[in-house]
Chain A
Amino acid sequence: KQEVTQIPAALSVPEGENLVLNCSFTDSAIYNLQWFRQDPGKGLTSLLLIQSSQREQTSGRLNASLDKSSGRSTLYIAASQPGDSATYLCAVRNSGNTPLVFGKGTRLSVIA
């Protein structure tokens, strides 16, 4: 059974700092991995999707990397802003027809 772990559970940083969020998964035979953002009381917004054959994806100030063999992914946020404050969730899929399995998320606070 696939399990996804995210560390740390919560993180507080001053504005402008670069930061890294970590995600690990127990079954390395994944199909793809996604990072999502969730604001309090809201649904999820997809940030980046990495296929199993890819090593990284970039969107603006966000960069996600994937090391499938070690069962790890990182989400790098450059030059953090208060508007980045949210919970960031990592999710993996083991095949095209299996549902996403989510971690518990990292709650990020960027202090102005």
Chain B
Amino acid sequence: DTGVSQNPRHKITKRGQNVTFRCDPISEHNRLYWYRQTLGQGPEFLTYFQNEAQLEKSRLLSDRFSAERPKGSFSTLEIQRTEQGDSAMYLCASSWRPDRSGNEKLFFGSGTQLSVL
């Protein structure tokens, strides 16, 4: 499978615990995005990387959230001291940087569904 891979698929945790998700992008894609989606809503942008550099972070990303992309390959998203409001689907997407025509097709993973009890 050469698509975007996310692990785990499901995570159930107790409030106050820390969780970490992993995303493996399509090989050689230089951009990697994290989005969060709750039921009945569209995905909300959290942060993105170009290679190993984190270029933008949403205001939604509180100081309890941290993302890394060491060596510009896989990425991890960590949530510390989880809250019930963190329950959502966390989606990862990867792409090539837009070409001169502005084409940038995002390929999404299947997501990690987080439930905070």
With contacts A51-B102, A102-B44 taken as known, whether A97 is within 8 angstroms of B91 at the C-beta atoms is no
Chain B residue numbers with a CB within 8 Å of A51 are 101-103
Residues of B contacting A: mostly: loop
- Shortest B44–chain A CB gap in Å is 7
Q: Is there a chain A Cβ closer than 8 Å to B74's Cβ?
A: no
- Structural contact, B91 and A43, CB atoms closer than 8 A: yes
Closest to A53 in B: B102
Interface centre among A32, A46, A52, A99, by most chain B C-beta atoms within 10 angstroms, is A99
Task: Tell whether, in the assembled complex, residue A91 and residue B42 are in contact, meaning their CB atoms are under 8 Å apart.
Answer: yes
Question: Does B42 lie within 8 Å of A102, measured CB to CB?
Answer: yes
Shortest Cβ distance from A42 into B: residue: B110
Asked if A20 lies at the interface with its beta carbon under 8 angstroms from chain B, I say no
The residue on A at minimum CB distance from B106 is A46
- Tell me which residues across on chain A come within 8 A of B107, comparing CB atoms: 46
